[in-house]
Amino acid sequence: MQAIGEKKAALTFQELLFTLQRFWADQGCVLQQPYDVEVGAGTMSPDTFLRVLGPKPVRIAYAQPSRRPADGRYGENPNRLFRHTQLQVILKPPPVRIQELYLESLTAIGIDLREHDIKFEEDNWEWPVGGAWGVGWQVMLDGLEITQFTYFQQCGGMDLDPICGEITYGLERIAGFLQDVDSIYDIVWAVEPDTGRKVTYGEMRLAEEEQFSAYSFDYADVTKLWEHLSLYEAECLNLLEQAKTFEEMDALKLKRFPVLGAYELALKCSHVFNLLDARGAISVTERVGVMARIRTLVVGVAKIYAAQGQQISELAKK
Partner 1 sequence: MAEFLFEIGLEEIPARMIAGAEAELERRVVAMLERERLVSDDVATRSFATPRRLAVWVADVAEHQEDATEDLVGPSVKVAYKDGVPTAAAAAFAKKAGVAVESLKTVTTPKGEYLAAISIRQGRDASEVIAAELPKELAGIYWAKNMYWRAGRPERFVRPVRWMVALLGMKPVKVGFGGYEAGDVTYGHRVLFGEEPIRLKSPGEYEQALEKSFVVADVEVRRQRIRKALDKVTRTVPDLRWREDEALVETVTQLTEWPSVVLGGFEAEYLTLPEEVLVTVMRDHQKYFAVEDKERKLAPYFLAVLNTQTDEAGLEVIRHGNERVLRARFNDARFFWEFDQRISLKDRGELLKNVTFQKDLGSYAAKTERVRKLASGLAGLVLARGCELNPVALDEAALLAKTDLTSELVKEFTELQGVVGGLYARAQGFSAATADAIYDQYKPVSMEDSVPRTAEGAVLAIADKADTIAGMFGLGMEPTGSKDPFALRRAANGIVKILAETAVALPLTLAEVAAAACGQNEALAAKVRSFLAERLEFYLREARGQAYDVVKAVLAAGAEDVLDAVARAEAVTAVRGSDDFAAVSAAFKRMKNILSQAGDKGVAVGTRVDDLLLSEATEKALSERSAELAGQVATLRAEKNYTAALESIATLRPQVDAFFDAVMVMAPEAEVRANRLALLDRVLGDFSGIADFSEIVTAG
What residues line the site for partner 1 (CB under 8 A)? 1, 3-4, 77-80, 93-94, 96, 99-100, 103, 113-122, 124, 134-135, 137, 141-144, 151, 153, 159, 161-163, 177, 180, 182, 283-285
Instruction: State the minimum distance, in angstroms, from the CB of residue 227 to partner 1.
Output: 23
Instruction: State the minimum distance, in angstroms, from the CB of residue 13 to partner 1.
Output: 17
First to last CA, the chain: 68
Q: Which is nearer to partner 1, 137 or 305 (CB)?
A: 137
Q: Collapsing DSSP states into helix, strand and coil, what is residue 136?
A: strand
Instruction: State the minimum distance, in angstroms, from the CB of residue 108 to partner 1.
Output: 15
Instruction: State the minimum distance, in angstroms, from the CB of residue 74 to partner 1.
Output: 12
Rounded to an integer, what distance in angstroms lies between the CA atom of residue 275 and that of residue 69? 6
Residues with Cβ within 8 Å of 41's Cβ and at least 6 positions away in sequence, in order, are 64, 66, 86, 127, 168
Chain centroid offset of residue 203 CA? 24
Q: Which is nearer to partner 1, 121 or 194 (CB)?
A: 121
Q: How far is CA 304 from CA 200, 240, 268, in A?
A: 44, 7, 18
Element (H, E) at 292: helix 284-317
Q: Which is nearer to partner 1, 163 or 191 (CB)?
A: 163
Rounded to an integer, what distance in angstroms lies between the CA atom of residue 119 and that of residue 106? 13
Contact call for residues 282 and 276 (beta carbons, < 8 A): yes
Alpha helix ranges (H) inside 80-189: 98-108, 171-179
Q: Collapsing DSSP states into helix, strand and coil, what is residue 180?
A: coil
Contact call for residues 198 and 185 (beta carbons, < 8 A): no
Q: Which is nearer to partner 1, 119 or 244 (CB)?
A: 119
Rounded to an integer, what distance in angstroms lies between the CA atom of residue 169 and that of residue 179? 16
Instruction: State the minimum distance, in angstroms, from the CB of residue 165 to partner 1.
Output: 8
Alpha helix ranges (H) inside 91-200: 98-108, 171-179
Instruction: State the minimum distance, in angstroms, from the CB of residue 111 to partner 1.
Output: 10
Q: Which is nearer to partner 1, 159 or 194 (CB)?
A: 159
Instruction: State the minimum distance, in angstroms, from the CB of residue 146 to partner 1.
Output: 10
Q: Which is nearer to partner 1, 151 or 215 (CB)?
A: 151
Q: How far is CA 209 from CA 65, 71, 74, 163, in A?
A: 13, 10, 6, 36
Instruction: State the minimum distance, in angstroms, from the CB of residue 283 to partner 1.
Output: 5
Q: Which is nearer to partner 1, 38 or 71 (CB)?
A: 71
Q: Which is nearer to partner 1, 160 or 265 (CB)?
A: 160
